[in-house]
Chains A and B, each alone.
Chain A
Amino acid sequence: MLGWTFGIVMAIFLVSLYASSLGNTQTNIRIGVSLPHEVLNNGEVEHIVKKYRNTLMKMVLAGAVAGIPLFFLLSYMSITIIYLFTWIGLLMYAFSRIYSKYHRKLLSLKKDNRWFRSNARIVTIDTKVSRLKDTLPISAKWFILPVLLSLSPFLFAYFDNNADVVLISLGIMAVVSTLVSILLYRMVCDERTVSISQDTSVNMAYNSARKSTLSRGWLSFALLESVIITVISFIMWQFGMPIVLMVIMLLVLSLLGIVIIFASYQKVQEKQQSLKDLESNSVYVDDDSGWENGMLFYNNPYDQRTMVEKRVGYGYTINIASKGGKAFIYGTFGFVALILVGVTGMGLWADFGEVEMKMVSDNNIIEIQAPMYGYQFKADDIISIDMVDDIAGGIRTNGISTERYSLGNFNIDGYGKSKLYITRNSPYILIELNGLYVFINGETEAQTQSYYNQLAGLMGD
């Protein structure tokens, strides 16, 4: 189970690293360097791009091989985590080295050939497009429909008494997805206009292609989610439905939503590219100098925006030269550092640290003292106690399980919801409470026996 999870995480990481190298061949950007269209098929350019990809492929293969030892370390959580983080860190470092090397190579080729025409400090505006900008996206009024629809599960929940928790969660899901699509619709509307030509009608068509298509895409997304969630919650309310089926439908729904958005972006790119191809009177914008390393971050102090459209790929990225962008970067680094230190520290502590689990009783109250997952209950609540030698197996829901001990919340086969406070070297005491089982033992068999006698004594009173 754990091995599979790590394997999938590592595979996704490797594939995404390689995929990022492919870039989008429809644009005029190669390895983060913007080039005039007529030189994209230039032999030297293609040679550099090909070498870059081959090197990256070798790195991915080396990474896959270097990941194998991880699967022999799985029994030690902390070493596994440290290994995984180191592996990811080294691969990212290698990737950035390879990327920078070929980025610089292509950039110097561009410089040598004088493929420059302008710089990032020049802003080009078409006054007509700027003036008519707000008329390009579909009207915001259309969003009233998904907003109203997404409220319907709450209405059903109001009339229903049984499944109302599920209905309310469906409602929250619908409202959140509608709000997110409205937010992204707003971002599309606020995006800067772009001028690619001296001809205003071409600029109009170019900007309309993006704003109209993407705004419609987000509207369709909001409509699809709200309509289907309404239908699901109606069926739930009137006829009932197995939760598993509902979850599957919701997953399919999210996939459909993603497909709609990707298709919209694809369409925008096709339309814009065809306009660019036809354009002879073009305004070639060379914004290389505004991009950190050509693609990772936008770094342009002459631009006040915090969020900008990505240069390669879909969506937005941040301007690290802006105040908001700086705050975001420092915040993210701080957060990641905190998580890394925290998770590694926790793992080390769980594997090698001193874990003390103790049971103490005070009158009617029995307290189990354990790090983080301590618990207490009344002696009157005990239904039965028993000694067991073995636990069949189960799933950890929220807790720690290592070679030496298990601690926290589990779902144990044959029992159900359980709390475990056990080391591996003696039989266990099984305490049955109302709807909950507690497994506990001491460091030694004598200790376990003493706990058992204590509990039996309390129950006898």
Chain B
Amino acid sequence: MILQLNMSSDTPIYMQLRNQIVMGIGSGELKTGEGLPSVRQLAVDIGINMMTVSKAYNILKNEGYIEIDRRHGAKVREDLDSNRKPTEKLEYGLSLLAAESKAKGMDKETFLKICEKTFNDINTQKLKEHRAC
């Protein structure tokens, strides 16, 4: 997949990395079991400290998206779908969005429609463009 990082954004680089890799997995651009660059390679290619990449990978590992093998490096977990579900975080995020939408007068149907559409075509490009602003 193609990562696009904005070096002068308010969002920290490790967060941008984490978010884009999650989007990549969600949209299918990154397949389960697909390898990721090593911490060193990615740090050299982006031109940042290895610690930053390492931080993003550790978050992804703790959240259960990737696994890090000593010999084969980092890769997307094979058993992703049967893994622990991010319900708590999802509920928090969604309730915040639902409240914001309701406060501004959006009805339930429109909200659900947007949710459905977003879920059906997860688009990494959108996130990148948003970040690039």
Q: A residues bordering B, Cβ < 8 Å? A: 118, 121-128, 130-131, 133-134, 190, 192-193, 195, 198, 200, 283, 302-305
Contact, CB under 8 Å: A130 / B42: yes
Interface centre among B35, B36, B45 (most CB of A within 10 A): B45
Instruction: Report A318 CB to chain B, min CB distance, Å.
Output: 14
Instruction: Report A305 CB to chain B, min CB distance, Å.
Output: 6
Residues 4 to 51 of chain B near chain A (Cβ within 8 Å): 4-8, 24, 30, 35-38, 41-42, 44-49
B59 contacts partner chain A, Cβ-Cβ < 8 Å: no
Contact, CB under 8 Å: B8 / A121: yes
Contact, CB under 8 Å: B6 / A121: yes
Tell me the count of chain B residues lying within 8 A, CB to CB, of chain A: 24
Q: What CA separation (Å) do A121 and B4 show in the bound complex? A: 10
B3 contacts partner chain A, Cβ-Cβ < 8 Å: yes
Contacts A122-B132, A190-B44, A304-B48; A131 near B37 (Cβ below 8 A)? yes
Contact, CB under 8 Å: B30 / A123: no
Contact, CB under 8 Å: B1 / A127: yes
Contact, CB under 8 Å: B1 / A126: yes
Residue contacts A-B, CB under 8 angstroms, 8 given:
A121-B7, A121-B8, A122-B132, A123-B3, A127-B36, A131-B73, A302-B8, A303-B47
Q: What CA separation (Å) do A122 and B132 show in the bound complex? A: 7
Q: Name the residue on A nearest B132 (C-beta).
A: A122
B2 contacts partner chain A, Cβ-Cβ < 8 Å: yes
Q: Name the residue on A nearest B48 (C-beta).
A: A304
Q: What CA separation (Å) do A126 and B41 show in the bound complex? A: 11
Contact, CB under 8 Å: B2 / A123: no
Q: What CA separation (Å) do A133 and B35 show in the bound complex? A: 13
B residues less than 8 Å from A304 (CB atoms): 47-49
Contact, CB under 8 Å: A122 / B1: no
Instruction: Report A369 CB to chain B, min CB distance, Å.
Output: 59
Contact, CB under 8 Å: B2 / A126: yes
Contact, CB under 8 Å: A134 / B41: yes
Other than A122-B7, A125-B42, give 8 A-B pairs with Cβ distance below 8 A. Answer: A123-B47, A124-B4, A127-B37, A127-B42, A130-B42, A131-B35, A133-B41, A303-B7
B residues less than 8 Å from A123 (CB atoms): 3-5, 7, 46-47
* Choice from A131, A302, A303 contacting B41 with Cβ under 8 Å: A131
Contact, CB under 8 Å: B3 / A125: yes
B residues less than 8 Å from A190 (CB atoms): 44
Contact, CB under 8 Å: A124 / B132: no
Instruction: Report A282 CB to chain B, min CB distance, Å.
Output: 11
B residues less than 8 Å from A302 (CB atoms): 7-8, 47
Contact, CB under 8 Å: B5 / A125: yes
Instruction: Report A187 CB to chain B, min CB distance, Å.
Output: 12
Contact, CB under 8 Å: A125 / B46: yes
Contact, CB under 8 Å: B37 / A305: no
Q: What CA separation (Å) do A18 and B48 show in the bound complex? A: 38
Instruction: Report A308 CB to chain B, min CB distance, Å.
Output: 9
Contact, CB under 8 Å: B45 / A133: yes
Contact, CB under 8 Å: A305 / B47: yes
A residues less than 8 Å from B1 (CB atoms): 126-128, 200
Q: What CA separation (Å) do A304 and B7 show in the bound complex? A: 11
Instruction: Report A286 CB to chain B, min CB distance, Å.
Output: 12
7 tightest A-B contacts by CB?
A130-B37, A302-B7, A131-B37, A125-B3, A121-B8, A121-B7, A303-B47
Q: Name the residue on A nearest B43 (C-beta).
A: A304
A residues less than 8 Å from B24 (CB atoms): 127
A residues less than 8 Å from B42 (CB atoms): 125, 127, 130
Instruction: Report A167 CB to chain B, min CB distance, Å.
Output: 41
B residues less than 8 Å from A124 (CB atoms): 2-4
Instruction: Report B64 CB to chain A, min CB distance, Å.
Output: 19
* Choice from A118, A121, A193 contacting B45 with Cβ under 8 Å: A193
Q: Name the residue on A nearest B38 (C-beta).
A: A131
Residues 32 to 85 of chain B near chain A (Cβ within 8 Å): 35-38, 41-42, 44-49, 73
B residues less than 8 Å from A118 (CB atoms): 132
Contact, CB under 8 Å: A125 / B47: no
Contact, CB under 8 Å: B2 / A198: yes
Instruction: Report A294 CB to chain B, min CB distance, Å.
Output: 20
Contact, CB under 8 Å: B2 / A131: no
A residues less than 8 Å from B73 (CB atoms): 131
A residues less than 8 Å from B38 (CB atoms): 131
Contact, CB under 8 Å: A127 / B5: no
Contacts A133-B45, A192-B47, A193-B45; A127 near B3 (Cβ below 8 A)? yes
Q: Name the residue on A nearest B7 (C-beta).
A: A302
Q: What CA separation (Å) do A193 and B44 show in the bound complex? A: 9
Q: What CA separation (Å) do A131 and B45 show in the bound complex? A: 10
Instruction: Report B110 CB to chain A, min CB distance, Å.
Output: 32
Q: What CA separation (Å) do A76 and B37 show in the bound complex? A: 64
Contact, CB under 8 Å: B41 / A130: yes
Contact, CB under 8 Å: B30 / A127: yes
A residues less than 8 Å from B48 (CB atoms): 304
A residues less than 8 Å from B46 (CB atoms): 123, 125
Q: What CA separation (Å) do A246 and B24 show in the bound complex? A: 61
B residues less than 8 Å from A131 (CB atoms): 35-38, 41, 73
Q: Name the residue on B nearest A190 (C-beta).
A: B44
Q: What CA separation (Å) do A126 and B37 show in the bound complex? A: 9
Contact, CB under 8 Å: B37 / A122: no
